[in-house]
Homo-oligomer: A and B are copies of this chain.
């Protein structure tokens, strides 16, 4: 059974490689305006959209027997959702916000499994009904040490923050400033592979 990762994130690919799961990357554009403010609902819905868009394409190509994994990660601080920074100033602002305190990271995951039943459901408009769709999220609390303004600038100069939710990557240079976490570390990296593996095993 082929597994498709509906994400272009190199970090998610590395995590699947790490635990020995074979997959193909298949990314498709998805409308990310979901109008949800709750971070857990937001990442679940976005992961679902990503997975279902790719699922739809695979079904149109006549594929059967496959699994699609969609995922989305955000940072939540003071009840506000932080996505990727819009630019340097935005990254500095976000990191100033996270310095010396705790925030939450949410990753939503949707796993779609299509068995080798006839693919007629798509034609009849019963797309979801014919598929096994599992969605979950994991929440991890992350605590930062204080970062001085010069430390924030030094980190932003590395460009590491620019493509990451909340403007930091826990697995890189920024590990200097991480005091501790509560929950799954890989959830902060972008994919809760422990929970995902347990789900895939049961499927």
Using a CB–CB cutoff of 8 Å, the interface residues on chain A facing chain B are: 15, 18-20, 140, 145, 170-173, 175-186, 193-195, 197-198
* Contacting residues, chain B, for A140 (C-beta < 8 A): 180
Q: Count identical subunits in the complex.
A: 2
Q: Out of B175, B179, B186, which one reaches A19, CB within 8 Å?
A: B175
Show 6 residue pairs from A and B whose CB-CB distance is below 8 angstroms, ordered by the A residue: A15-B175, A18-B172, A177-B194, A180-B184, A180-B194, A182-B182
Max count, chain B CB within 10 A of own CB: residue among A178, A186, A198: A178
Q: Out of B176, B184, B185, B195, which one reaches A197, CB within 8 Å?
A: B176
Contacts A20-B173, A173-B20 given: A194-B182 contact, CB under 8 Å?
A: no
Contacts A173-B18, A198-B145 given: A181-B178 contact, CB under 8 Å?
A: no
Q: Out of B20, B170, B180, B194, which one reaches A145, CB within 8 Å?
A: B194
* Contacting residues, chain B, for A194 (C-beta < 8 A): 145, 175-180
* Contacting residues, chain B, for A177 (C-beta < 8 A): 194, 197
Query: Which 8 pairs, one residue from A and one from B, show the smallest C-beta to C-beta distance?
Result: A176-B197, A185-B185, A19-B176, A180-B183, A178-B194, A180-B184, A182-B182, A175-B193
